[in-house]
Amino acid sequence: MSEKNDKDRGLILRILSNKDIQKGIAFFSLALILAFAAVIPVAEEEFNQNTIEEEGVEEINFPGYRVHNATVNILEGSSNLIVQDFDGNELFNESVSAGNSIDLTDLDGNRDPNLLVFRDIGENNLTYSYILEYSRRPYGLLSLPAAFLTLIGMVFAFKGKGIILGEIKSKQMEEKRKKEEREKEEKITEEKDLGEEVIFEKEDSHEEKGEADHINFMGVPKEDDEENKEG
Question: How many Å apart are CA 107 and CA 127, to the nearest integer?
Answer: 23
* Average pLDDT score over residue span 179-186: 83
For residue 204, pLDDT over 60 is answered with no
For residue 168, pLDDT over 70 is answered with yes
Q: What are the tens digits of pLDDT across the range 16-32?
A: 778 888 888 899 999 99
Tell me the average pLDDT of the chain: 78
Question: What is the DSSP track for the chain?
Answer: -HHHHHHHHHHHHHHHH-HHHHHHHHHHHHHHHHHHHHT--EEEEEEEEEEE-TT-EEEEEPPSSEEEEEEEEEEESEEEEEEEETTS-EEEEEEEETT-EEE-TTS-TTS-EEEEEEEE-SSS-EEEEEEEEEEE-TTGGGHHHHHHHHHHHHHHHHHHHHHHHHHHHHHHHHHHHHHHHHHHHHHHHHHHHHHHHHHHHHHHHHHHHHHHHTB-TTS-B-HHHHHHHH-
**Quick one: pLDDT at residue 68?**
78
Task: Supply the pTM of this predicted model.
Answer: 0.53
Q: What are the tens digits of pLDDT across the range 49-65?
A: 888 887 788 888 877 67
All structural domains of the chain with their residue ranges? 2-38+141-162, 42-136
**Quick one: pLDDT at residue 178?**
85
Question: Please, what CATH class does the domain formed by 42-136 belong to?
Answer: mainly beta
Q: What are the tens digits of pLDDT across the range 129-154?
A: 888 888 888 888 899 999 999 999 99
